[in-house]
Structure 1
Amino acid sequence: MKLFKQLLVAPAALGLLAPVAAVATEVNVAGVSDYASVSSDAIAAEQVTSITQFSDVYPTDWAYQALSNLIERYGCVAGYPNGTYRGNRAMTRFEAAALLNACLDRVTEVTDELKRLMKEFEKELAIVKGRVDGLEARVGELEASQFSTTTKMKGQTTFVIGANSYGGDSKVEVLNAKGYPRTVDQADLAAAASGATTFNYDFRLFLDTSFTGKDLLRTMLRAGNFASSAFGGNSEYSGLTTMETAFEEGGPNQIVVNRLWYQFPIGSNFTATVGGKVRQDDMLAVWPSAYPSDTVLDFFTYAGAPQTYNLQLGAGAGLSWSDNDFSVSVNYVSGNGNVASPYVTGADNAFTRDSGDCGGIATDCSSSSGTVQIAYAPENWGIAAAYNYASGDNGAGIYSGNGTPLANYFSGLGTTNSVGISAWWTPENAGWVPSISTGWGYNSVDISNANFDGLFNTGSIDGATSQSWYVGLQWADVFLKGNAAGMAVGQPTFVTSWDNDSSINDGSDFVADGNYAWEWWYMFQVTDNITVTPAIFYLSRPLGYNTNGFASNDDDTFNNFGGLVKTTFRF
């Protein structure tokens, strides 16, 4: 008998014979006599089509389901002429042979039907077989050519083309070719320095390795050429126009290791992260914002608190705990953690600190950043509060482009205590209602021992406080599914007060610092892997604009309007 027929017959035979084994101990001599008197007419009766046709079979019977399956699937169960099945009685060998023969006839009918179907769909089956063979061949080629069984590789390339324009009535003094001072419009000076249309790129390559299926070793290679453009961080007038995607390290077009860290679970609730080049946000259980999916200005990527979420990068470690929607994250990063010398000996054998030559872990020169975050984040909304402590004369300051020059400078000196509070909400369905993200940051800087001679000519500043905030809106599936639009407004970090004991502003404690930033963008989902994002932005005071470039109490204006088109390729 062929294998297919054997498989079909097996459950039928077992279904018929199993009751015999089960009730054999119940058979008595009188019962056997009654069975012997039953004629073969019982087998010749018409086969039943439903178990309900048996008057003596009940759902509580132990073999009810097996008998029902035999009737409905195979149609090879017969009863006695009086409509009974007599399931508790023994079956003669003749009756077993007759019922088994009926099942075999039914199996023959089934196989004939299958043969007809296979003949009818012969071409389609051949196509399917060919596709399966092709897939198996491709899988074999991929397995033979893959560089690692534990590592996946993905990448992202971003092109940015754009330009800045400047306005306002602020004046500055510059020296001409002969060394004589002359007064010019700051807008003209800025346009000459950073007003050209530029085309730049950012390239990222991610290598994600897992050894257990629950851990992650991430290696990120990166290259870019933004340093000389208006959208990088190294131009005098780039300031707040610095983009989140702008990158250059070690020179233009140089591929460097931008991330290298390992993350693994500890039990069911804890996750540990450690790395020689890990960033603060790599170790947070929750990122406290739903904005943006495609950012423009770098400031709007820090949840409204660029000092608390300073994204310090370096040697570090962190531990996070999550239970349902609650999470707590603790981490530490040293920006100079790879440097062995905590001090540098100067020419006069005095101990000095220099960010390029000294560092270590938890030293005054380590550029330390320690963060604690508590968050509650259900499915489509959340709130978070974070505290950051940055220490050392080379402390972890606000990233370039996230504050006024005065705020940037203060935050990089002494000790900074920062607090960030954030909240976000996203609608369950795409529509006219956008996601909403908001955040606020407060920073207190202790620089009582820092001397500003050479910068402010004389005197010192005992301390400073600064704040920042933002609101971001983002719409999903705008006009077409997959497209998105966004808008954000806020104030990048600005100094709100200081204890001034210097010649700045004639020793006054009054501070006229601050600026506003706006951005608007629309993202076209060209394909699953390509997006094009045109954007515009406006900065009310992109730089401090008095003679020293740090603070101003006058009413002169200086603003920055820019536009760009960003194209992102993911592979």
Structure 2
Amino acid sequence: MKLFKRLLLAPAGIGSLAVGVYANPLSITGVSDYAAHSYLSSGEQVTSITQFSDVVPTDWAYQALSNLIERYGCVAGYPNGTYRGNRAMTRFEAAALLNACLDRITEVTDELKRLMKEFEPELAILKGRVDGLEARVGELEATQFATTTKLEGLVTFVIGANRFGGNDQALAARPNVDNANREYGATTFNYDALLALNTSFTGKDNLIAVLRSGNFDGDLNAFGGAFLPVSTLETAFQEGETPNYLVINKLFYTFPIGSDFVVTAGGLVGQEDMLGFWPSVYPSDPILDVLTLNGAPGAYNKTLGAGAGLTWSRGGVSVTANYVAANGNSSNAREGGMATDGSAGSGTVQLGFEQEQWGIAAIYSSIQNTNGKGEANGLIASGTQFVSDSYEHAGSTSAFGLSGYWQPEESGLIPSISLGWGINQTTYDKSVYQDKKIAADLLVSTSQSWSVGLNWSDVFLQGNHAGMAVGQPIFATALVDDSVPRDGNYVWEWWYQFMVSDNISVTPGLFYLSRPLGQETSEGKSFSQLGALVKTSFSF
């Protein structure tokens, strides 16, 4: 009601103002001119402010007048194409203008009512859907785990077996071929379950907690690396000697500083989690773990422990520096701590550059080879168990890697290519290994590695993938005593991933290790491993 009164009083107010200022008598001629000429002399309705010859963009009411013309079409001019914006308005003129605008608004309102009536059933259906969505959103908000946390999961079943071949029946400190088939040749059915909690407090940061469980028994299962570490599956997990235990596998926090820097830190973080760039498009979980490390298992050592890292990136260029101590949670300086002799630490610097279809990275890592857990990081190619059991800190290694990838614009016969190469230089405390009576020909001073991975998309069916990779994991090229190493082992894998649905995949695969014992293979003899498996993965 107040709005209606204002509309009725508006012409009177405008007219009074005009009379008070100009003291002009009522002009019926002016009224008739304005009221009669809703069209220009050309007979066309005013649809644009540019049709008025005396209105320019610098006029203070230019935008308001333009809006009235374009939105409502209720502004008229004079037959000569002018608007006469500075002319005084009479009450009759104000009434005519107001009436024209109200008529136009009435037309729009009537049209809206007609459309609403015409689409009344559809509007009712939409309203019902919106009400239903609001109810579901309310229910989700009331029962959600957390407003800041997202849960993701991956469960993998693996069924497979291994077959060992060759003619070496007298392996030093190792089972022979027959014993290997008897002890590690059975068909097994294992699982790996991973739950990742991603929590963001600002929308840009991320607190990551990874819970994991598995039953790839470290002492009994060949797929878990019990016999030959190089045949460890990427998906194989077990915490120590306790299968089926759910443990915290990773826990770290990442946040940006400005627009170019990202900080990552945590009490349980992997070296790979803090890299600004991963120079490969080969899948991270096909079969063997060693073939996912960009051809440089020394430099990309995936050391897991307490650590922190900083990454700078801009325009495709990234620079990363990080440090991880596998024993960083121990207060005993001989067996743990940060940056101590017992840290089992790895310091890494990486420079990477990537574009839409390709990328390349150079990486350097300084590694403490062994730790209080007897883990050698795979850098002592022969006599590993003897060295790590006898001496907790068997020197240090400088590892360098160069890796890159290229992928086609579209899927087809041409695969994506990922390749890399690494070289490692290891030094030892001479007095210690002499005191322990460790033979120098069991200690590697220089080693190398390389790999090439190919993968195809949309193979046979859209969404399915296939791939293969070949490489040589770390193999000795020089020994401490300058003797000629008899090391070397080629690793192959082939796989095909069939997507049952968006969340379920089945991946049959084969892998072959030509000489997995390296120098420990008897001279003139052979020893190999063939593995076959089927992986079924469920992601949610």
TM-score band, normalised by shorter chain: 0.7 to 0.9
Contact 1:157 1:201 survives alignment (8 Å):
yes
CA distance in 2, matches of 1:35, 1:294: 89
Contact 2:256 2:262 survives alignment (8 Å):
yes
Of 277, 291, 313, 1:300 maps to 291
Contact 1:36 1:92 survives alignment (8 Å):
no
Contact 2:52 2:77 survives alignment (8 Å):
no
CA distance in 1, matches of 2:156, 2:449: 28
Structure 1 residue identity aligned to 2:36 = A
Of 211, 214, 225, 2:215 maps to 225
Q: Say if 2:470 is the partner of 1:489.
A: yes
Contact 1:404 1:542 survives alignment (8 Å):
no
Q: Say if 2:350 is the partner of 1:370.
A: no
Deviation at 1:244, TM superposition (A): 0.7
Match of 2:272?
281
Any idea what SS the aligned residue of 1:375 has?
strand
CA distance in 2, matches of 1:267, 1:409: 49
Any idea what SS the aligned residue of 1:160 has?
strand
CA distance in 2, matches of 1:380, 1:35: 77
Contact 1:403 1:492 survives alignment (8 Å):
no
**Change over 3 Å in CA distance of 1:389–1:139 after alignment to 2:** same
**Change over 3 Å in CA distance of 1:44–1:275 after alignment to 2:** same
Q: Residues 200-233 of structure 1, C-alpha deviation per residue, up to 9 Å, x if partnerless?
A: 1111111112222222211111000112333112
CA distance in 2, matches of 1:64, 1:50: 14
Of 470, 487, 496, 1:513 maps to 487
Match of 1:325?
316
Of 178, 200, 205, 1:210 maps to 200
Structure 2 residue identity aligned to 1:520 = W
Give unmatched runs, 5+ long, in structure 1: 176-183, 344-357, 501-507, 545-549
Any idea what SS the aligned residue of 2:223 has?
coil
Any idea what SS the aligned residue of 2:484 has?
coil
Match of 1:538?
512
Contact 1:206 1:218 survives alignment (8 Å):
yes
CA distance in 2, matches of 1:198, 1:404: 28
CA distance in 2, matches of 1:83, 1:285: 67
Q: Say if 2:231 is the partner of 1:249.
A: no
Of 529, 532, 537, 1:560 maps to 529
Q: Say if 2:188 is the partner of 1:198.
A: yes
Any idea what SS the aligned residue of 1:109 has?
helix
Structure 1 residue identity aligned to 2:337 = G
Deviation at 1:459, TM superposition (A): 6.0
Deviation at 1:170, TM superposition (A): 2.5
**Change over 3 Å in CA distance of 1:87–1:240 after alignment to 2:** same
**Change over 3 Å in CA distance of 1:403–1:564 after alignment to 2:** farther
CA distance in 2, matches of 1:429, 1:403: 42
Residues 61-210 of structure 1 mapped to structure 2, 5 A cutoff:
62=59, 63-172=61-170, 186-210=176-200
Any idea what SS the aligned residue of 1:438 has?
strand
Structure 2 residue identity aligned to 1:465 = T
CA distance in 2, matches of 1:56, 1:106: 25
CA distance in 1, matches of 2:486, 2:267: 41
Deviation at 1:90, TM superposition (A): 2.7
**Change over 3 Å in CA distance of 1:455–1:123 after alignment to 2:** farther
Deviation at 1:552, TM superposition (A): 3.9
Give unmatched runs, 5+ long, in structure 2: 40-44
**Change over 3 Å in CA distance of 1:455–1:410 after alignment to 2:** same
Any idea what SS the aligned residue of 1:451 has?
helix
**Change over 3 Å in CA distance of 1:388–1:410 after alignment to 2:** farther
Structure 1 residue identity aligned to 2:454 = L
Q: Residues 465-502 of structure 1, C-alpha deviation per residue, up to 9 Å, x if partnerless?
A: 110001112222333332222221111111111132xx
RMSD between aligned residues: 3.4
Match of 1:352?
none
Structure 2 residue identity aligned to 1:156 = L
Give aligned pairs, total.
519
Q: Say if 2:338 is the partner of 1:394.
A: no
Q: Residues 87-143 of structure 1, C-alpha deviation per residue, up to 9 Å, x if partnerless?
A: 332322211111111111121121111112111211211111111111111221222
Contact 1:490 1:516 survives alignment (8 Å):
yes
Q: Say if 2:410 is the partner of 1:429.
A: yes
**Change over 3 Å in CA distance of 1:261–1:53 after alignment to 2:** closer
Deviation at 1:156, TM superposition (A): 1.1
Any idea what SS the aligned residue of 1:40 has?
helix
How does the TM-score come out when normalised to structure 1? 0.82
CA distance in 2, matches of 1:493, 1:185: 22
Deviation at 1:305, TM superposition (A): 0.6
CA distance in 2, matches of 1:472, 1:408: 30
**Change over 3 Å in CA distance of 1:186–1:392 after alignment to 2:** closer
CA distance in 1, matches of 2:338, 2:418: 35
CA distance in 2, matches of 1:263, 1:513: 41
CA distance in 2, matches of 1:561, 1:247: 21
Deviation at 1:166, TM superposition (A): 2.6
Match of 2:459?
478
Deviation at 1:157, TM superposition (A): 0.8
Contact 1:468 1:492 survives alignment (8 Å):
yes
CA distance in 2, matches of 1:488, 1:272: 33
CA distance in 1, matches of 2:27, 2:250: 83
CA distance in 1, matches of 2:225, 2:175: 23
